[in-house]
Structure formats: structure tokens, C-alpha cells
Amino acid sequence: MVSNKNRLYIALYPSGATGDVTPEERQYRWGFLVGPKAEKSKEVPGTRYHVKNSIVTGWNYEELSLRDVQNTTTLLARLLIAKIEDDERLKEVFRTTPFVQNDPNWRCRTWVEQVLARIISDGGIVGTSQLDWRAIEQTGRDLEHA
């Protein structure tokens, strides 16, 4: 039994959208970070999993190795949501959760919510966890006002 299982985080980044014209749900970019339990060194390697929208290519999935999962470029918040039991099944969920092109209402937060639903449905990918999307989203938004 592995005692130093990786951890799953929700990551919030600024969306780049401006001011009051942006609805509240579009103020952030949402994604996932995976890193080790032990974070004793200055730089802790990990991985970011997210979808991003490009004017040229539309929505794309990205899996990026990070030198330091604790502090990525423009990271606003990192919320611990789960202890990972099966890293490979989690990666498969990230890689196979579809994204929708040409739907103005579909966003990265939609993908994050769908990933969480698939993790819950699987039942064996994570152990101790908080996977309720509404609670996670509210906690992330509350951090802005803290």
C-alpha cells in the first residue's frame, strides 16, 4: 500500500476577460493539478491538466509537466480535492473527457465539472475527497473575496 499518494487539486487562473462585461462564471479558467503528498522542497514537480480555447484551433486538451505544482504562472488558487488512488485511470479520464467546439456556453469549467462527474462515477480513482462541483466552485470564488 502506497502511503505517499499523489494529490488532486483544482486550479484557478484569471480568464483574461475584462471587467463588468464578463459574467461571473467566465472570470476564471479552471483546470486540475496533480502533485505529490510531500511538498517539502522549494520546487515540487507535478502536472497540469486542462482544456483551453484558441481562436485558431478551438478547444484543446493540454497535459503539461510542471517544475513546481505549488506556483504555476498566473495561478490564483489551488484547492486540494482528493487523494489519488489510481493515477493511470485518472489520466485516462482527463484524456477522454470530451470537449465541445462551437458552443458559446461550453467552457473549461464545464469540462472540469464533467471530469469530476466521471471520477465520482468510477468510484475507484480517488480515496478521501471533496468532489462536489458546487462546493468546489463556491470555495474558489470565495477566495477572491478573502
Domain boundaries, the chain: 7-145
- The DSSP result for 41-101, as a single string, is SSS--EEEEEEEEETTTEEEEEEEEES-TTS-TT--EEEEEEEES-HHHHHHHHHHS---S
Q: What is the pLDDT of residues 89-143, one digit of tens each?
A: 999 999 999 999 989 889 999 999 999 999 999 999 999 999 999 999 989 888 7
Which has more confidence, 17 or 9?
Answer: 9
pLDDT reported for residue 16: 64
91 phi and psi angles, rounded to 5 deg:
-60, -40
What region, left, alpha or beta, does residue 105 occupy, with left being phi > 0 and alpha being psi -120 to 50 degrees?
alpha
pLDDT reported for residue 21: 40
Average pLDDT over residues 57-83: 91
Which amino acid would we find at residue 84? I
Where do runs of H (alpha helix) occur along the chain? 87-96, 108-122, 133-145
pLDDT reported for residue 109: 92
Which amino acid would we find at residue 51? V
Which has more confidence, 2 or 84?
Answer: 84
The x, y and z cell numbers of residue 53, run together, are: 480555447
Taking each continuous run of H as one helix and of E as one strand, the counts in the chain are: 3, 6
Q: What is the pLDDT of residues 11-54, one digit of tens each?
A: 998 876 544 444 455 578 899 999 998 888 788 899 999 999 88
